[in-house]
Structure 1
Amino acid sequence: MQTMNLLFLCTGNSCRSVLSEAIFNHLAPAGWKAISAGSQPAGQLHPRAVALLQRKGISTDGYYSKSWDDLPVSPEVVITVCGSAAGETCPAYLGPVLRAHWGVEDPSHVVGTEEEIAAAFERAYQIIRTRIEAFLALPADRMLDKQALEHIGTLGAAC
């Protein structure tokens, strides 16, 4: 597969979907691109998400919180990363694309000590990275297989 455009989607597009976009773009082969968006964008990236990515050596240049109405390309695959256990309503992208759900609890909602909050962001990062690495390891003929994509959404900690 020479090119692929993925959309990572959540409600606010400030944390989980941006982590996903940045990690994917950091790991993906040339010609593959992830974008992220939200159904109700927060208007800014979560500072802890940006700091975490920078600590991991992943660029955040050019990333911003944006609406799914402002996409520069049409994706082939849309992956929602909303955490259903948190009672979030996961937005439903209406374009004719393959969809999968990779729910991740929102670390920005964690209340606790500095260490507990940092651990929640690290957990979200690790879950997302594990899933993206699993996706990138799929044989080319399975990358657009809904069952394979949904299975990847179960890897890592349960949501």
Structure 2
Amino acid sequence: MKVLILCTGNSCRSQMAHGFLQSFDPNITVCSAGTEASGKLNAKAVQAMKEIGIDISHHTSDSVEKYLGDEWDYVITVCGGANEACPSFLGNVKNRLHIGFDDPSHAVGTDEFIWSEFIRVRDEIKAGFWKFYIEEIKPQV
């Protein structure tokens, strides 16, 4: 089973989703990429995942170009920008899905509010990808 998670910058939401899905089942090949990859991870996303025992600090922010020639069971977009760009994804894909989330890196306000947005989105990503895992992947493995 191979899953590619796409976002625009591949620094935050797709990285958290990648970490969660891999933690649910280490036998799944999970990669994440960006349609306009930033080349770095969002430090608050790394911290939010570390807080619950998932280390994504070793992940890399890669361009979707790296994966275009590969075969995927699922390509999942987690933001609107990547969802709009996804039809141009030329890879061999069995299933395309969109599971969208707010971008916590766009949160404005106090440090406490911004951190709470990272936690809220992290928890929403966990719930969304757990539902995907239980409904789509677990029956197949």
Q: What's 1:51 paired with?
A: 47
Give the secondary structure class of the aligned counterpart of 1:76.
strand
Q: In proportion to residue count, which structure has more helix?
A: 2
* Distance 1:140-1:65 versus aligned 2 partners, 3 A rule: closer
Identical positions, percent: 34
Q: What's 1:33 paired with?
A: 29
Which of structure 1's runs of 4+ aligned residues deviate more than 4 A? 139-143
User: Which structure exhibits the higher relative contact order, with contacts defined as CA atoms closer than 8 Å and separated by 6 or more residues?
Assistant: 2
Q: What's 1:23 paired with?
A: 20
1:51-70, CA deviations, whole angstroms, 9 ceiling, x for partnerless residues? Answer: 11111100225301111112
TM-score (norm 1): 0.77
* Distance 1:100-1:51 versus aligned 2 partners, 3 A rule: same
Distance 1:118 1:61 in 2: 18
1:53-106, CA deviations, whole angstroms, 9 ceiling, x for partnerless residues? Answer: 111100225301111112395321011000x4xxx4632123231101111110
Q: What's 1:81 paired with?
A: 78
Q: In proportion to residue count, which structure has more strand?
A: 2
Which structure 2 segments of 5+ residues have no match?
none
How many residue pairs match? The answer is 135
The answer on 1:64 being equivalent to 2:60 is yes
Distance 2:111 2:138 in 1: 43
Question: RMSD of aligned C-alpha atoms?
Answer: 2.1
Confirm or deny: 8 A CA contact 2:16 2:56 kept in the other structure. Answer: no
Aligned AA (2:123): Q
Distance 1:18 1:76 in 2: 18
